[in-house]
Each structure stands twice: as C-alpha cells, then as structure tokens.
Structure 1
C-alpha cells in the first residue's frame, strides 16, 4: 500500500526527516502537497477531519485509514515497517528517545530566527533573534552535538550507528540535522565538528548509501531556504 506523506511544498522542513526514511527503504509513497491540488487537499483534511485523528499540523502520514502525526511518532510507526528500527523492543524506545531529542534540537533551531512568535516575520524580531542565536551557538549547539557524539561512541554495537547494530531512522535524522545545521550556521559547525568525529562520520556514511545518494541528487530532494526551519541569516552568525 502506498504511504501518503503530507507536508508543505517548497521546503524540506520537518517533513524531510520522514522522507529520508521512506527513500532509504525504497518505500512506495506520495508527497501529497507536491502534487497538483495537494496543498489544498492537505488543508481540507486538517480542517474537515472532524475527529480525534485530525492532525494539528503537518507533517502527518496516512497509511490506509490510519493517520499518524508528528515526526518522531511517524518514524516510531514506520521504523519496524521499513526495517529501520531495532528488533529489540527496549531499543525501539531508546531510538524514539533519541528522535525526540533531535526534535528538541530542531525546535531550538527554529526559535533562533523566530524567538517571539511564529506569526511574526523574522524582520520583526531581529534583535531578539540575535540574542537567541548567540545563546544557542555558544551553549546549546555544543551540548547537542556532544550528546549525540557520546551516544554513538557508547553504542555497544559500535559508533557506526546510534542504536543497535544496524542503520535506523535515527541515523538518517542525524544526517539531516547535520545538513541543516551546516546550512544555517556554517561558521559554528566548522568550529564544532572537530569535537564530533563519530557524528560526522555517520553523516558521511549515510550520504554515501546508494538510495540516499540517488535521492540527494534528484529533484525530489528540496533545497534549504529561508522559508524553512533551517535558515541562514549571515547577520545572526559571526565567524568565530
């Protein structure tokens, strides 16, 4: 059965974490909002569902009659079905916890350029964004990178993957996290990457996987831009 992924057209955003899992697995899926009339259909579904399964916001996934929303929840659902989750049940919860930590980091990245409110333009909150970014780059970014580095190095199965002994959706998401951080904060990432060699090695290994490599060079892969979560505003980042 074909999976239906709903996310905004034109930006990789949170939807990209789900796309990477679907692409790595070679799954049959439709990126609905990128189809003619797809965005309207997505909005109508969110507005008219009329029951507890109605998602608050994209991304969400429809599998048959089942609706699954939120990135970590979607990947927790897809992981076993796409063979991108540990077989051991306990490790699946570890993977979910790691994915939720990635979600936390992505939320903090978003708040560097929208620290006051999502309904305001970036230009309306630039002073606050500057302060928030300074704090994120000096304190939070090294903390997140250091945490994921420790997770990889402490994996009993080796640092080639984050949990268990094989590739999981968490590894794909860590790849995307590094990609997004490099786009948004190139100077800070250059300064911090030497302290996270296992994380960078994981990023490079994921990029070299055959299906991911083909996906990254295809028109299905959307480029980062200043409408996305990961945004590059040079004035927010001063070279260290």
Structure 2
C-alpha cells in the first residue's frame, strides 16, 4: 500500500520534510490533499474525527496502513528505518531524532519572524513586531543554529560529511530544506554562508545533486516557495549579518 501524506495544498511547509524522504527513496506515496478526488476535506475529517482514537492535532501526518503518525520529527523517526534513511545503531538513531527536533525548533523560529504575535493575524497586522523579531533572529538565533549544525558536521566529518552516521539520513535531507528555505527568505542574511558554513554548504550541494532529489526538484511535485508557507521573502525583514 502507498503511504498517505496529509498536509495543506499549495505550500511546501512542514510537509516538505516528509516529501523529501519519500522522494529520495522512490517510495510509493499519495499527497492526499493534492488529489482532485480527495482533497483537504478528507484531511480535516480525520483531524475533526469523533471516533478516531489517534487523532492528530494538525498536519502533517502520515497513514501507513492502519498506523497514523503525526509531527514531522515523529514521522521521520518512524519512516527512517523503513526507508533506509536512519542509522543502524540505536544510539545514533536517538541522536538523529534529537537533531530533527532541533530542526523543528529552527523551523518554528523562522515561522515566528513573520508571525511573532499570532498565527490568526495577517503579517500586515504585525509588521513592526515581525521586523523586531527578524532582527533578533538574523543577528542571534540564525547563527546559533547554523553554528551548531556546522559543528556537528565537523565533528562527524570522518563519517563522510553527514550529520549523523556514515551515510545519508533524513536529517541530511531536512537540513538541505532548511538551507533552501533560508536562501529564499533571507538571501541578504545568508550571503557568504558558503565560507562561514562550508560543511553545511557541501551537504546542501550533495543532497541537491542526488539523482532522485534533482529529479523531484525539477518536477511539478516540488512547489515553489511562496508567501503563504513557512519560508517567506519579505525584503524588509532581511538584513545583513
């Protein structure tokens, strides 16, 4: 049976971290809300179910037969061993999960640069607060996260330039998506990132050039970044480091 991925149509968002793992491994999956005969209504029926015991709080979530798994890091922790994208030893699998959870925190801070007050308000209703939050993000939080992941790469360099273990894992794919999103949303702040973070830049290129990922990026399945997703390009929020 095909994996069923449930996420909002029209944006990459958090669902993209799951798509990259499925695309890299050539997995059979259905992007449910993009199916004309299924759509968002089917996703909301599960979320609002009054009978499903394991209801998710929000998308993305994944159905694998009778198993329903929610939250990006949890889904990837579930998929990783099944798709060959997780380390073989238990200690490394837990470390990979910790890295993915740190990426989850990173994603949340990116989101809050344009919605620092409330997700129920439009960006235009909180522009002043967004500008202040983005200044703090670019000057302090962005380098803190990137410095950490660069250090993890450096200290694992003997294993072939991956974040954990000696082969490609879902964490490498997720870091690729983070760099892609940051280059879109904060091109000025990311200027010169290749020299500041050479390990992350190499990893980004490695993932981008993998045959399955390159084919996916060139396909209509890969939606473009836009100002409805997590990574949004608002020039007034992008400042020099």
TM-score (norm 2): 0.97
Q: Secondary structure at the match of 1:188?
A: coil
**2:44 and 2:12 mapped to 1: Cα distance?**
18
Superposed displacement of residue 193, structure 1: 3.7
The 3-state SS of whatever aligns with 2:63 is strand
Q: Secondary structure at the match of 1:30?
A: strand
For residues 74 and 8 of structure 2, what CA distance do their matches in structure 1 show? 18
Q: Which residue of 1 aligns with 2:233?
A: 232
Deviations 1:79-103 (A, max 9, x none): 0000000000110000000000000
Give the Å deviation of 1:195: 1.1
* Partner SS state of residue 187, structure 1: coil
Question: How far apart are 1:40 and its partner, in Å?
Answer: 0.7
- Give 1:35's aligned residue: 35
Aligned with 2:120: secondary structure?
coil
CA distance in 2 between partners of 1:73 and 1:193 (Å): 30
Give, in whole Å, the separation in 1 of the partners of 2:153 and 2:146. 11
Structure 1 SS opposite 2:159: coil
Deviates more, 1:156-165 or 1:178-187: 156-165
| Aligned mates of 1:111, 1:159 — CA distance in 2 | 34
Residue 24 of structure 1 corresponds to 24
Q: Distance in 1 between matches of 2:219 and 2:150?
A: 30
- Cα deviation, residue 156, structure 1: 5.8
In the TM superposition, 1:200-239 aligns within 5 A as 200-239=201-240
**CA distance 1:156–1:201, shift in 2 (3 Å):** closer
How far is 1:66 from its partner?
0.5
Query: SS of the counterpart of 1:73?
Result: helix
RMSD over aligned Cα atoms: 1.1
In the aligned structure 2, how far is the partner of 1:177 from the partner of 1:47?
30
Q: State the Cα deviation string for residues 111-141 of structure 1 (Å, max 9, x = none).
A: 0000000000000000000000000000000
Say if 1:152 and 1:159, in contact at 8 Å, map to a contact too: no
1:138 maps to: 139
Give unmatched runs, 5+ long, in structure 1.
none
Residue aligned with 2:168, SS? coil
Question: Could you tell me which residue of structure 1 aligns to residue 74 of structure 2?
Answer: 73
Matched residues, number: 240
Match in the other structure for 1:175: 176
Work out whether residues 12 and 224 of structure 2, in 8 Å CA contact, stay in contact via their aligned partners in 1.
Answer: yes
- Aligned residue for 2:190, secondary structure, equals helix
1:94 maps to: 95
Residue 10 of structure 1 corresponds to which residue in structure 2? 10
Summarize the alignment of residues 47-126 of structure 1 with structure 2, pairs less than 5 Å apart.
47-48=48-49, 50-126=51-127
In structure 1, distance between residues paired with 2:98 and 2:213: 24
Match of 1:190 in 2: 191
Deviations 1:187-220 (A, max 9, x none): 1011444210000100000000000000000000
Counterpart contact for 1:53–1:67, Cα < 8 Å: yes
CA drift of 1:38 comes to 1.4
